[in-house]
Structure 1
Amino acid sequence: MGECDTGYVDEIAYTFGYCDELNPLRLKLPLLYAGLVPPSVGNACELGFGHGVSVNIHAAGSSTQWHGTDFHPPHAHFAQQLAERAGSQAQLSGERFSEFCRRDDLPDFDFIGMHGIWSWISEENRALLAEFIQRKLKPGGVLYLSYNTQPGWTPMLPVRELMHRHFQIGAQSAQHDGMTAEARMAARIKDAVGFAQAVFATQPGYAVVNPLLAERVEAVSAERPEYLAHEYFNRDWHPMSFLQVASSLTAAGLSYGGSADYRDHVDEINLSAAQRALLAGIADTGLRESARDFCVNRSLRRDYWIKEPRTLTDDERDTALRAHRVILALPRASVALKVRGALGETTLPEALYGPILDALSSHRPVPLSDIERDVRARGITLAQIVEAVLLLISMGALLNAQHDAQISAARPSAEQLNAAICEQARHHDDVHFMVSPVSGSGVFMPRLPQLFLLARRHQMQQPAQWAEFAEAVLRADSESSQKAKASPSTVSLADLTAKAQRFAQLHLPLLQALGIA
């Protein structure tokens, strides 16, 4: 059903992105840090899963039983195919929320995730989802919710309205006749963004009092139509304040648990001393989070909400934190000790972070208790370790790690999903993530490394062989896509061989440690 019927732009499929915050393992560390009991996640649900890259990775990378829905048929079909190839038993449907949420065959859930959906659906659907969460989320269960928020989005509200009106008028335009529905939609989006650029080129008064908006509009113009269609051009588009969202979720029996963005748990990189002092004096959660959003000019919130949360004593909290495991996911020498928070880029102290990284240099899952033991002589405390680990995970240097029994259970389905993703790389450059059974999460993997791994799966052992295999695939793909053009593009075997050798030396050992290769 098209955009004119639902208000949701479905002529263009969404991107093939991955959202790590939808991984239930990720919620454990920030909830423990806040002194809250994280759930043991047996059943999980993702609402509005797009192409299903995240839900399939998380289903294949753990023993959690996943359910979910996305009403867009191409999305649901792609996700279902991935689930079938992985053998993960993920139950993924193409139902609308109004159908899915009223099913009587769904289990109660320990975790429910929604990435972005809350901002792009009608008030009626938000009420429906809130009722579903209230009814189906178990006591102690967690909701992950991300949504566009204010005040960061506030200046863009009239710009979006301007573009959307042009987009609506474009539906009646005859100049795109003869195109496919997808191409016609992409052209309408391009025209609407171009109109906003034209308005800003006249230096309107609104741009004068909001000088950063022109750069933001230019940034929008550089995005792909697949992203813009769903981010800006749905009929329902509601950047909501924390208090507005909290009103719905507290009525559904949930309490705010904390941010899913690990960087938010380290105030020093986000807030000035005066801001930290101000927020420390605010007891009310809603007022404090609202004031914090003003301080950092937040435009996207990533939040955990808990149904009937249980608190830990200090001793229980520290014991659970010490048992939490992480793994170094980059070469030790490649970890740049810089992190970007709301205050800009911060350089992290080598005296603190160096010893912690050294304790992880084996590239094996390590509990925080082992790190604490190794760095104790340097006077580094558990609190400092937890804060450092939060930031290192946010930077991609570390990954949360499952326990050994969970890793072993996840290996077969992770292997099957990774094989399916690598096989798709023969003909498509869509999915850029593979699943690690160690972390239960996605690991960024572009097409070329996928082809190298595919060559290894076909018993090619040497980097030169991987390069030759990749060259043949890319050349065939290039020639096929260039049939109507004068000449196909060429691929340098020498360049591919150098990349394959670098992959073998630097990346392959890490992928083996993560259970991907």
Structure 2
Amino acid sequence: MQNWADGYFTGSHYTYGYFDYLSPVQQRFALLLNGLECPPSDSPHHCELGFGQGVTLNVHSASNPGCYTGTDFTPDQAVFAAGLAARACNRSLRILDDSFADFHARKDLPQFDSISLHGIWSWVSDDNRRVIADIVRQRLKPGGILYLSYNCLPGWANIQPLQRLMELHDRFGGAGRKAEQRVDDALGFVRAVLSAQPAYAEAAGETLRKQLDALGGDKAYLAHEYLNRNWTAPYFSDVAQALADIRLEFGATSQILKRLDALHLTAAQRQMLTAIDNPILREQAQDYCINTRFRTDLFVRGAIRLTPEAQRIRLFRQQVVACVPARKISFTVSTHLGTFEPHDDQYAPVREALADDGGCVKTIGDIVEHAGRRGLDETRALRALLTLMGTGQVYACQPEADLDNVRERARRFNRTIAELALEDDHLHVLASPLTGAGISNIGRSERLFLLAIFDGIEDPVDFAWRSMKSIDASLVRDGQALQGDAQNLAYLREQYAAFQDDLLPVLEALQIT
């Protein structure tokens, strides 16, 4: 292991995932739901520490006003992130490959409106956590937001020993092997230990068996999660105390779905939590009820605490937009308590309101009013809408003035993502200037269709197939590679018809095209 890595796993690239919780627009909305307001400044500066491949950083820099600074001490990841920004001509983004200590020592950094770290807190050493706290203490503005996501207890209590076994096996037996093989070898070692029926496995029970069955997905993620020598899963209350020491208070979870208690808590649990006045104790007790293993928290350095009346006014003025076709909107939610599947027509007025006028932007107040005219009361209408927001089907929108500032920047980024479909299939996310967030899982064919639209090409299907042929690619249907022009073109025409019916109207509503 390289000394510069300080125990962090650097044997493979991190994933190319996108995480909307880091969007300033969505962070402010989550705080609003908890009765807090952190208005953005006129010239905001945002920061992401440990950005991985920088996909999220690039998306948010392209779709939000102001400037971004990011650092990740893995040089090739910094090169990738900077190259993506350069290709999109995004001059509002500054990419560094500093360690946290080197970043902290810089004299050329602004004060930040937000600082975000996704997962990093769990994966770095105690010394690095202290440096991160110092960065936040010195660089986060009054009224600023800290986003911190991390593995936590009690959810990791039975699983944490697995990580230690895998890390130890990798430390003493993984040298010289590729990352994927190291993961497989470590998993094999864990299974061998568990097959000997140790008392630990019997005590851990079903939780352990389910977790072991789940190990085997994305090898890049598993390597970074399980092979780090520095790895921790703190209690929420310990994290809150560490940040309170630098004058930050807990603001809210960024997971909107967790605001809907009935989805996660039994009646007895809700009654018990209602009797707890202290917010830290209540939040920690809720983690025990849910057996939380990963938190996505927002902390604030001072915020406006709204009265219920002021919160309602701001909430009902907030604009939102759907990012899935109206016919695909689903109110079904699965949690540890089971699957909640309301009758399709129960929340139909909310779906109708979102779809009106071609899916254009609506205020929450407009949607609630429409639902009321159709017999759905305010409480249920809000619950339905927040369910859609919590499941990523509806997003909060940013103010019109901010939208005007980033529209062209976002368009350049989206064209770049479409162009990159000609080179590889890593990047599947587009940036919406309307929401200040990304829309994910855009397929390669769909990105090529979008590129044709950007370039005004008359036949996007023909363009897409010629592009794929030029890189010796073919389509796969039902697990079988299609053969020849006729089969591939026919399948692409089916895909394009679906693209026109479903995805393209959404991209237009999100002002991506």
Q: CA deviation at 1:122?
A: 0.8
Residue 390 to residue 443, structure 1, CA distance change in 2 (3 Å): same
For 1:85 and 1:250, the matched residues in 2 are separated by 41
Q: CA deviation at 1:350?
A: 4.7
Residue 4 to residue 207, structure 1, CA distance change in 2 (3 Å): farther
Q: CA deviation at 1:249?
A: 0.4
For 1:245 and 1:490, the matched residues in 2 are separated by 56
Residue of structure 2 equivalent to 1:425: 421
Amino acid at match of 1:358: E
Residue of structure 2 equivalent to 1:180: none
CA contact (8 A) 1:452 1:470 kept: no
For 2:381 and 2:25, the matched residues in 1 are separated by 19
Could you list the per-position Cα deviations for residues 59-78 of structure 1 after superposition, in whole angstroms to 9, with x for gaps in the alignment?
10021311111000111111
For 1:114 and 1:96, the matched residues in 2 are separated by 14
Could you list the per-position Cα deviations for residues 243-280 of structure 1 after superposition, in whole angstroms to 9, with x for gaps in the alignment?
21112100010111111011110100000000001111
Could you list the per-position Cα deviations for residues 350-407 of structure 1 after superposition, in whole angstroms to 9, with x for gaps in the alignment?
5652112211113111111222332333454555444332210122221221222322
For 2:308 and 2:284, the matched residues in 1 are separated by 28
Q: Say what the alpha-carbon RMSD is for the aligned residues.
A: 2.1
Residue 312 to residue 290, structure 1, CA distance change in 2 (3 Å): same
| 1:354-365 matched pairs, under 5 angstroms | 354-361=348-355, 362-365=358-361
CA contact (8 A) 1:26 1:400 kept: yes
Residue of structure 2 equivalent to 1:262: 256
CA contact (8 A) 1:39 1:142 kept: no
1:116 aligns with 2:119: yes
Q: 2:497 aligns with which of 485, 491, 501?
A: 501
Residue of structure 2 equivalent to 1:201: 195
Residue 469 to residue 440, structure 1, CA distance change in 2 (3 Å): farther
In structure 2, runs of 5+ residues without a counterpart are 476-480
CA contact (8 A) 1:257 1:306 kept: yes
Out of 424-433 and 462-471, give the one that drifted further: 462-471
Residue of structure 1 equivalent to 2:287: 293
Q: CA deviation at 1:303?
A: 0.7
CA contact (8 A) 2:13 2:220 kept: yes
CA contact (8 A) 2:445 2:464 kept: no
CA contact (8 A) 1:467 1:497 kept: no
For 1:495 and 1:148, the matched residues in 2 are separated by 43
Amino acid at match of 2:316: R
| 1:170-181 matched pairs, under 5 angstroms | 170-172=173-175
CA contact (8 A) 2:350 2:367 kept: yes
Q: CA deviation at 1:107?
A: 1.3
Residue of structure 2 equivalent to 1:99: 102
Q: 1:407 aligns with which of 403, 408, 412?
A: 403
CA contact (8 A) 2:452 2:460 kept: no
For 1:432 and 1:248, the matched residues in 2 are separated by 36
Residue 448 to residue 359, structure 1, CA distance change in 2 (3 Å): same
Amino acid at match of 1:137: L
Residue of structure 1 equivalent to 2:146: 143
Residue of structure 1 equivalent to 2:82: 80
Residue 64 to residue 383, structure 1, CA distance change in 2 (3 Å): farther
For 1:284 and 1:51, the matched residues in 2 are separated by 39
Amino acid at match of 1:163: M
Amino acid at match of 1:329: C
Out of 16-25 and 403-412, give the one that drifted further: 403-412
CA contact (8 A) 1:271 1:342 kept: no
| 1:34-433 matched pairs, under 5 angstroms | 34-40=34-40, 42-88=44-90, 89-172=92-175, 184-209=178-203, 210-220=205-215, 222-348=216-342, 350=344, 353-361=347-355, 362-378=358-374, 380=376, 382-433=378-429
Residue of structure 2 equivalent to 1:484: none
Amino acid at match of 2:61: A
Amino acid at match of 2:458: Q
Residue 391 to residue 223, structure 1, CA distance change in 2 (3 Å): same
Residue of structure 2 equivalent to 1:450: 447
Q: 1:435 aligns with which of 431, 435, 450?
A: 431
Amino acid at match of 1:413: R
Equivalenced residue count is: 498
Residue 76 to residue 373, structure 1, CA distance change in 2 (3 Å): same
Residue of structure 2 equivalent to 1:20: 20
For 2:249 and 2:173, the matched residues in 1 are separated by 43
For 1:326 and 1:433, the matched residues in 2 are separated by 20
Could you list the per-position Cα deviations for residues 66-96 of structure 1 after superposition, in whole angstroms to 9, with x for gaps in the alignment?
1111000111111111222223321121111
Q: CA deviation at 1:191?
A: 0.5
CA contact (8 A) 2:347 2:376 kept: no
In structure 1, runs of 5+ residues without a counterpart are 177-182, 479-487
Residue 381 to residue 311, structure 1, CA distance change in 2 (3 Å): farther
CA contact (8 A) 1:27 1:38 kept: no
Counterpart secondary structure, 1:168: helix
For 1:406 and 1:225, the matched residues in 2 are separated by 39
For 1:158 and 1:468, the matched residues in 2 are separated by 50
Amino acid at match of 1:134: R
For 1:8 and 1:263, the matched residues in 2 are separated by 32
Residue of structure 1 equivalent to 2:9: 9
Q: CA deviation at 1:204?
A: 3.5
Q: CA deviation at 1:457?
A: 3.1
Could you list the per-position Cα deviations for residues 160-205 of structure 1 after superposition, in whole angstroms to 9, with x for gaps in the alignment?
1111111111145xxx5xxxxxx62332221111111223334443
Out of 269-278 and 337-346, give the one that drifted further: 337-346
Could you list the per-position Cα deviations for residues 194-246 of structure 1 after superposition, in whole angstroms to 9, with x for gaps in the alignment?
111223334443333312312311321x2232111211111100011112111
The percent identity for this pair of structures is: 35
CA contact (8 A) 1:3 1:9 kept: no
CA contact (8 A) 2:326 2:351 kept: yes
